[in-house]
Amino acid sequence: KQEVTQIPAALSVPEGENLVLNCSFTDSAIYNLQWFRQDPGKGLTSLLLIQSSQREQTSGRLNASLDKSSGRSTLYIAASQPGDSATYLCAVRLEYGNKLVFGAGTILRVKS
Amino acid sequence: NAGVTQTPKFQVLKTGQSMTLQCAQDMNHEYMSWYRQDPGMGLRLIHYSVGAGITDQGEVPNGYNVSRSTTEDFPLRLLSAAPSQTSVYFCASSYSAARETFNEQFFGPGTRLTVL
């Protein structure tokens, strides 16, 4: 059974700091991995999607990497801002079917 | 496009009551799904549909029914609400159910359900 773990569970950093969020998964048979942002009381907003054949994706200050063989992904946020404060979720899409398996998320707080 | 919409945003039920959570998308997406989100557990798949007339169970289907009579709508029915169904429910959709396509999933804003 695929399990997805996100470390740390919570992170508090000063504004301007670069930071890394970690996501690990137990079964490397994934089709892609997606990072989401969730603001309190809101839905999920897709940030980046990495296909299993790719190593990384970039969007603005965000960079996500994927090492499928070791079961790891990282989300790098450069020059963090208070507006980045949210919960960040990673989810893997299994090779068999269209199901997403989610991690529990990392709660990020960027202090001004 | 309105994207994925869900109604209601909030709902309080008594144990044993039934209700339907509505989900609609206007992107002509083939694949739709329902998740529940509980503290510390991430999102878990309840039911999903790969197209009109086709539904299947996810990880936690007990106590829920779904139907997909049109491409746009995918309602989730709680048959007899229980306190364990207190959660936030999210509907999601993606363009295709086929593995080979670029399949980013889009989520609705959620329905916060409390069962007393």
- Out of B31, B40, B102, closest to residue A98 by CB: B31
Please state which of the ranges A79-88, A102-111, B90-99, B106-115 shows the lowest mean pLDDT.
B90-99
| Chain B residues in contact with chain A using a Cβ-Cβ cutoff of 8 Å | 4, 31, 33, 35, 40-45, 48, 50, 58-59, 90, 92, 94, 97, 99, 102-110, 112
B43 → closest Cβ in A31, A98, A102: A102
Q: Per residue, what are the HEC states of B50-103?
A: EECCEEEECCCCCCEEECCCCCCECCEEECCCCHHHCEEEEEEEECCCCCCCCC
- Across the interface, whether the CB atoms of A43 and B40 are under 8 A apart is answered no
Confidence of residue B75 (pLDDT cuts 50, 70, 90): very high
B94: which chain A residues are within 8 Å (Cβ-Cβ)?
A: 98
The residue-averaged pLDDT of B31-48 equals 91
Q: Is the pLDDT of residue B97 over 70?
A: no
pLDDT above 90 for A88: yes
pLDDT tens for residues A11-50?
A: 999 999 999 999 999 998 888 999 999 998 888 999 999 9
Q: Within a 10 A sphere around the Cβ of A82, how many other Cβ atoms?
A: 10
Arithmetic mean of pLDDT, A95-101: 75
Token pair for A41? 């009381």
- Give A45's contacts in chain B (Cβ within 8 Å): 107
pLDDT tier at B107 (50, 70, 90 boundaries)? very high
Contact state of A44 with B33 under an 8 Å Cβ cutoff: no
B46: which chain A residues are within 8 Å (Cβ-Cβ)?
none
Tokens of residue B1, six digits: 């496009």
pLDDT given for residue A19 in this prediction: 96
